[in-house]
């Protein structure tokens, strides 16, 4: 097989068009570095999913509304999108693409674990406007013009991250998804505390993906099973769990890209390897492999095992506002 061939389809999840003037907060000045900035631009924002990888987002710039709408219409939600680098290569040429590489990536958007999840939670919660660029009107109304001006003077271009967090702190429960999302972005863009931002991002993932609910259910199931089970059964379960994590580490170490496919894909490959290596251990329990990994991911198998899991599926939040 030719390694340069396309292995995954990129499917558009969402697309919308934004209009920016030269004085707008979101105006992409870096795109016109070293040249005269246009009075206005239109940005086509895409959210896409490549194969089974996490969603990522990026935008393409146009100097006319007509061109932007044509691009958005050409790739509606559900359609297959040609990778952004190929689009730029066709329209802008190699020199433009090399400028992107030389300036650190600009809009290449490598995998956008970014702060995409907090952004999406805030858009869905009506804290960020539906266009995904600015704070919503209800945030502006609640804080008032005087406070908004104060935030702008204090925080400059990042003032909206502070406004969103202030609104959520005043109007929503502090354990709500929108409040956690806003606090995550506040620490990343305002306080500069990347550790806090990363911690809050993981907390948000737990809430949004139902991990907490899953954990409660799993704990209850094990408590019920424990009443009828034996010490030997628990020991065997621990051994299978440990063997599975070790196999996951081995598979990921030999092919790091496997981890990018997600937990389920890596678990399947690791289970096959572990069963071949220790068939007696896996006479039973193969159907519970995903449950074993869930226990490790949630920390129920101990901090050391959870740390090993996180080392496989590492995460670092990016820097890009909004």
- Residues 139-188 have pLDDT tens digits of 999 999 999 999 999 888 889 999 999 999 889 888 888 998 999 888 88
The sign one gets for the Cα dihedral 65, 70, 71, 73 is positive
Residue 123: pLDDT over 90 = no
Q: Which residues, in sequence order, are CB contacts of 178 under 8 Å at separation 6+?
A: 121, 122, 125, 127, 168, 172
**Residue that is written with structure tokens 């051994």 in the block:** 239
Cβ neighbour number for residue 237 with a 10 Å cutoff = 20
Instruction: Between 308 and 259, name the one with better pLDDT.
Output: 308
Angle at 104 between CA 89 and CA 198, to 5 degrees: 120
Cβ neighbors of 163 (< 8 A, separation 6 or more) are 135, 139, 140, 143, 148, 151
Give the residue from 208, 240, 259 where a domain finishes: 208
Query: Residues 21, 94: one domain?
Result: yes
Residue 106 has pLDDT above 50, yes or no: no
Mean pLDDT calculated for residue range 118-140: 86
Instruction: Identify whether the C-beta of residue 54 lies closer than 8 Å to the C-beta of residue 112.
Output: yes
Selected residue with higher pLDDT from 251 and 261:
251
In a domain, 213, yes or no: no
Residue 194 has pLDDT above 70, yes or no: yes
Is 5 inside any structural domain?
Answer: no
Domain presence at residue 220: no
Q: Do 194 and 257 fall into the same domain?
A: no
- Alpha-carbon distances, residue 5 vs 9, 61, 75, 91, 314 (angstroms): 11, 28, 22, 21, 27
The residue length of the chain stands at 322
**Would you say residue 109 has pLDDT above 50?**
no
* Distance between CA atoms of residues 10 and 54, nearest Å: 11
Same domain, 142 and 185: yes
Handedness of CA 76, 57, 152, 177 (dihedral sign): positive
Same domain, 124 and 82: no
pLDDT at 317 over 50: no
Average pLDDT of span 47-68: 76
Q: Quick check: is 4 in a domain?
A: no
Q: So what's the pLDDT on residue 26? A: 61
* Residue 20 main-chain phi, psi, to 5 deg: -125, 135
Global pTM reads 0.40
Based on the domain organization, do 301 and 246 belong to the same domain? yes
Q: What is the DSSP string of 249-314?
A: HHHHHH-THHHHT-HHHHHHHHHHHHHHH-TTTTSS-GGGHHHHHHHHHHTTT-HHHHHHHHHHT-
Whether 321 maps to a domain, the answer reads no
Is 107 among the domain residues? Answer: no
Across 186-195, 248-257, 311-320, least confident range: 311-320
More confident of the two residues 229 and 263: 263
Show which of 49, 72, 102 is a domain's final residue: 102
Whether residues 91 and 156 share a domain: the answer is no
pLDDT score of 163: 92
pLDDT at residue 313 greater than cutoff 80: no
Co-location of 203 and 235 in the same domain: no
Is residue 239 a part of any domain in this protein? yes
Q: How many domains does the chain have?
A: 3
Please indicate whether residue 69 or residue 211 has the higher confidence score (pLDDT). Answer: 69
Residue 191 has pLDDT above 60, yes or no: yes
Same-domain status, 84 and 143? no
Indicate the residue among 163, 178, 208 that finishes a domain: 208
User: 195-244 pLDDT, tens per residue?
Assistant: 778 788 877 877 776 555 555 566 666 666 555 555 567 788 889 999 99
Q: What is the pLDDT of residue 139?
A: 93
What percent of the chain clears pLDDT 90, i.e. is strictly above it?
13
164: which 2 tokens? 């969103």
pLDDT of 83 strictly over 60: no
pLDDT reading at 16 higher than 60: yes
| Under 8 Å between Cβ of 240 and 281 | yes
The pLDDT tens digits for 278-312 are: 988 898 888 888 888 888 888 888 888 888 888 88
pLDDT given at position 287? 85
Report percent pLDDT > 70 for the chain: 71
For the segment 39-50, what is each residue's pLDDT rounded down to a tens digit? 888 888 888 877
Range of 80's domain?
10-102
Instruction: Give domain status of residue 64, yes or no.
Output: yes
Instruction: Report the alpha-carbon distance of residue 101 to residue 108 in Å, rounded.
Output: 9
């Amino acid at each position: 097989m030719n390694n340069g061939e396309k292995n995954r389809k990129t499917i558009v999840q969402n697309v919308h068009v934004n209009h920016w003037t030269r004085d707008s907060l979101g105006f992409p000045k870096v795109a016109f570095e070293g040249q005269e900035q246009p009075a206005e631009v239109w940005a086509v924002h895409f959210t896409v999913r490549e194969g089974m990888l996490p969603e990522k987002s990026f935008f393409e710039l146009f100097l006319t509304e007509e061109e932007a709408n044509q691009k958005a219409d050409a790739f509606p939600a559900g359609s297959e999108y040609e990778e952004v680098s190929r689009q730029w290569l066709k329209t802008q040429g190699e020199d433009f693409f090399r400028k992107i590489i030389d300036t650190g990536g600009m809009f290449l958007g490598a995998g956008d674990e970014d702060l995409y999840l907090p952004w999406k939670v805030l858009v869905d919660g009506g804290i960020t406007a539906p266009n995904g660029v600015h704070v919503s009107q209800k945030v502006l109304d609640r804080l008032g013009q005087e406070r908004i001006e104060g935030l702008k003077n204090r925080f400059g271009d990042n003032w909206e991250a502070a406004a969103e967090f202030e609104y959520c702190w005043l109007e929503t429960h502090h354990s709500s998804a929108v409040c956690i999302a806003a606090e995550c972005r506040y620490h990343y863009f305002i306080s500069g505390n990347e550790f806090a931002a990363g911690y809050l991002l993981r907390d948000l993932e737990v809430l949004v993906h139902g991990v907490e609910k899953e954990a409660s259910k799993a704990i209850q199931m094990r408590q019920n099973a424990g009443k009828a089970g034996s010490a030997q059964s628990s020991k065997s379960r621990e051994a299978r769990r440990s063997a599975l994590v070790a196999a996951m580490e081995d598979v990921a170490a030999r092919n790091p890209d496997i981890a990018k496919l997600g937990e389920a894909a890596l678990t399947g490959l690791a289970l096959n390897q572990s069963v071949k290596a220790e068939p007696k251990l896996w006479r039973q329990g193969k159907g519970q492999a995903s449950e074993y990994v869930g226990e490790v991911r949630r920390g129920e198998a101990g901090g050391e095992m959870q740390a090993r899991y996180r080392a496989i599926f590492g995460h670092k939040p990016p820097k890009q506002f909004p």
